[in-house]
Amino acid sequence: MELVLIAAAIMISLGGLGAAIGIGMLGGKLIEGSARQPELAPKLQVTFFLGAGLVDAIPIIGVGLAMYLIFVVAPGMA
């Protein structure tokens, strides 16, 4: 049972790490692109919105699976 909680913790932490790196890179490129070509800023913001939705989809599914492990598979441990 403890292994289930450790697995959930690894899933949440690595998912959060991946999302943080991805969104950080996207945000950095957004600022860089807006500084280089200010007239493209609204387009870049929309592209950022689309990219961010895709980047954090997998980590959030990982968080969902972790919640499933914590609250359904090992409910007594939580």
Partner 1 sequence: MSANSIPSPPVHRVALLQLATLVPSCLLVWLALDETTALSALCGGAVAVVPQAWFAAKLFRARGARSASEIARSALSGEIGKFLLSAVGFAAVFVVLRPLEAAAVFAGYVAMLIVQTIGSWWFLMRRQQKQTETPKQEL
Q: Give the residue numbers marked as catalytic.
A: 56
Q: Tell me the number of residues near partner 1 by CB under 8 A.
A: 36
Please tell me whether residue 72 binds partner 1 under the rule CB under 8 A: yes
Secondary structure in 3-state letters for 15-65: HHHHHHHHHHHHHHHHHHHHHHCHHHHHHHHHHHHHHHHHHCHHHHHHHHH
Is residue 50 a contact residue for partner 1 (CB under 8 A)?
Answer: yes
Q: Out of 34, 74, 76, 77, point to the residue binding partner 1 (CB under 8 A).
A: 34
The answer to whether residue 38 forms part of the interface with partner 1 (CB under 8 A) is yes
Under the binding rule (CB under 8 A), the answer on residue 64 touching partner 1 is yes
Which of 52, 16, 48 shows the shortest CA–CA distance to 31? 48
Among 14, 21, 61, 77, binds partner 1 (CB under 8 A): 61
